[in-house]
Amino acid sequence: MNIVQFCWLLLLPMPWLWIAASAISTEKPNCPKKCGNITIPYPFGIGNPRCSMNKSFLLKCNHSKPSNSSSKLLLGDLQVLNISAEEGTVTVSTYVPYYCYDMDWIGLDYWLYKVDLTGTPFTFSATENRFIAIGCDTVGYIEDSNGTRFGSGCISFCYHPVNLTREDPCSGVGCCQTQIPSGVKTLDMSIDSVYNYSYSSKFSPCNYIFLARKDWFDFSTIDLIRLTNVDRKPPTVLDWAVGEETCESMDLSYASSSIYPCGPNTNCVNSNNGPGYRCVCKPGYQGNPYLFDSQGCKDIDECLDQTMHRCEGTCKNTQGNYTCHCPLGMSGDGKVACQGFRVTTLIAVCGILIFLAFMIIVAWIECKRRKKHRNFQQNGGSFLKNQKIRIFSEKELVKATEKYDNNRLLGQGGSGAVYKGVLANGSLVAIKKPNVADKTKIKHFQREVIKKAFQHEISIVSQVNHKNVVKLLGLCLETEFPSLIYEFISNGSLFDHLHVKRSAMLKSWANRLRIAAEISLALDYLHSLADPPIIHRDVKSMNILLDEKFTAKVSDFGASVLIPFGQSVVDTKIHGTHGYLDPEYLITGLLTVKSDLYSFGVVLIELLTGQKPILKRKNPEENVNFIQYFISSVEQKKISQVLMNCEDVDRRESEQIEVVAELAVRCLNSSSIERPTMKEVAEQLNGLMKLHETFEAQENDEEVESLLGKENDAMFYSISETHYMTAFDIELQ
415-437: pLDDT as tens digits: 678 999 999 999 999 998 887 65
CATH of domain 494-732: 1.10.510.10
Over residues 670-697, the pLDDT tens digits come to 999 999 999 999 999 999 999 888 887 7
Which residues contact residue 665 at a Cβ distance below 8 angstroms, ignoring those fewer than 6 apart? Answer: 601, 630, 631, 634, 635
Fold of 2-7+94-231: Jelly Rolls (2.60.120)
Q: What's the rounded Cα separation, in Å, for the pair 385 and 301?
A: 75
Q: What is the band of 10 on the pLDDT scale with cuts at 50, 70, 90?
A: very low
Closest CA to 466 of 387, 529, 382: 529
pLDDT in tens, 246-257: 888 775 545 555
Percentage of the residues of the chain whose pLDDT score is greater than 90: 34
Report the C-alpha gap between 514 and 553 in whole angstroms.
Answer: 12
Task: Compute and round to an integer the Cα radius of gyration of the chain.
Answer: 62
Percent residues over pLDDT 70 in the chain: 80
Residues tagged active-site: 538
Q: Distance from CA of residue 109 to its chain's centroid?
A: 83
Two domains, one topology: 379-487 and 494-732: no
Residue 8: pLDDT over 60: no
pLDDT digits over 449-483, tens only?
555 555 566 767 777 889 999 998 888 888 888 88
Q: Where are the domains of the chain?
A: 2-7+94-231, 252-296, 379-487, 494-732
CA 300, 306, 312, 313: dihedral to nearest 10 degrees?
A: 50
Cα–Cα distance, 507 to 248 (Å, whole number): 130
**HSE-CB for 711 with a 13 A CA cutoff:** 7
Mean pLDDT of 546-552: 93
Is 74 or 104 the better-scoring residue by pLDDT?
Answer: 74
The second-level CATH assignment, the architecture, of 379-487 is 2-Layer Sandwich (3.30)
Q: Read off the pLDDT band of 666 (50, 70, 90).
A: very high
322 by Cβ neighbours in 10 Å (0-12 / 13-18 / 19+) ranks as buried
